[in-house]
Structure 1
């Protein structure tokens, strides 16, 4: 479930606590935790609603000036249902703290290296973790499509792999492209030492 930066800022400020989406089936359910640029959002409720039941007050709670603007912003399709999603801020993204954690022992670094090696072994396109970290280190803030092309890969599978590194606190997403986190730089230095 994607949000604009403006919507995220307004959710964090407590101005927005609803989202409306027209889906074929719900993309989230109550209890889902969404990690976003402003922290974790908890999904409290997901309810199918008829358009006529959407009020101007609902629209304002979703960050729109009125229901007409909200409904005009929804994806069209007779095969889609309108859902009202109730949200609340639920704390900081745990990956933020993980990215900054560089107080790692040699054994912990070896464990991370072993986990990355397992990811490489499961990959259908060969070892990629160290090469991707090296690429991001050498080319921070470069578009994902350009980075993917440098590795002769498609953009979406490349981005999916970078998200796996992000889950481990090794990369950070920027407005354009990525960069290594402090933890990612430490891990890459360790990987270089293992191969050197």
Structure 2
């Protein structure tokens, strides 16, 4: 699993390698991995002796030095080292799916799939309950939602991912919300409901972390477009918004041709 900073570096092109101690190759060339910044494609997989690693390898994987790369690979020394080439392959296709409002026929097909998930679950029907609690509590932490349902957080998050695969929910920097697709499906089941106006714009990137997200929400900044109304220095003065979060906001803004106020 790549850390948020590594993901951002791969997306920007600064990093294009990762090194892993595996007992066997865990990915293949052409594999596309879903991450918090979009799709990453595996471009190469090679087994390499640690002694043959060079400073260029360290630079390309984002390590501060060759010595530190070798130190990071010191654990599990009984396993071979694999050098994995990576490139950013674009946005997650689920983003487009969740914006696509289904037809009545498609809604019937979606509901049938949800019924199958319910039938296969050891806890009984859960799909509609989960959609309803997310709809009623957008941007609320998963542990809080799970506690309200009396479910373990890990199991709740696993099931939410199943709904996300179908384009019905989307993960935010903190918590979730229903996608337009999910709202349409739930309204078909329960009848249209009154919701707070949907925030227009691009949600804050999940990679900035929960403390920064809470600080930004506290000043009514919920989207990247809202960030453009602030100077970087002013956001830096908010408790919880550190240099790493600011750098990730900068990268996310630049990807969309945006920037901080006064930049």
Question: What's the TM-score once normalised by structure 1's chain length?
Answer: 0.87
1:64: how far off? 1.8
Q: Which runs of 5+ in 2 are unaligned?
A: 193-263
Runs of 4+ in structure 1 over 4 Å off:
none
Name the SS for the 2:46 alignment partner.
Answer: strand
1:162 aligns with 2:160: yes
1:20: how far off? 1.3
Q: Is the 8 A contact 1:45 1:85 kept in 2?
A: yes
1:46: how far off? 1.9
Match of 1:132 among 124, 130, 133: 130
1:95: how far off? 0.3
Write the distance in 2 (CA, Å) between the matches of 1:83 and 1:188. 45
Write the distance in 2 (CA, Å) between the matches of 1:156 and 1:26. 27
Change (3 A) 1:57 1:156: same
2:97 alignment counterpart: 98
Q: Name the structure, 1 or 2, with higher relative contact order (CA <8 Å, separation 6+).
A: 1
Name the SS for the 1:90 alignment partner.
Answer: strand
1:45 alignment counterpart: 44
Q: Which runs of 5+ in 1 are unaligned?
A: none
1:111 alignment counterpart: 109
Deviation by residue 1:5-57 (Cα, 9 ceiling, x = unmatched): 22222211111111112234433222211012322111122222222222121
Write the distance in 2 (CA, Å) between the matches of 1:24 and 1:75. 15
2:221 alignment counterpart: none
Question: What's the TM-score once normalised by structure 2's chain length?
Answer: 0.67
Deviation by residue 1:101-156 (Cα, 9 ceiling, x = unmatched): 12x22111121111111111111211111111111122222322232222222222
Write the distance in 2 (CA, Å) between the matches of 1:170 and 1:191. 14
Q: Is the 8 A contact 1:21 1:75 kept in 2?
A: no
Name the stretch that deviates more: 9-18 or 70-79.
Answer: 70-79
Q: Is the 8 A contact 1:141 1:178 kept in 2?
A: yes
Write the distance in 2 (CA, Å) between the matches of 1:113 and 1:185. 13
Over the aligned positions, Cα root-mean-square deviation in angstroms equals 2.0
Write the distance in 1 (CA, Å) between the matches of 2:83 and 2:55. 14
1:67 alignment counterpart: 66
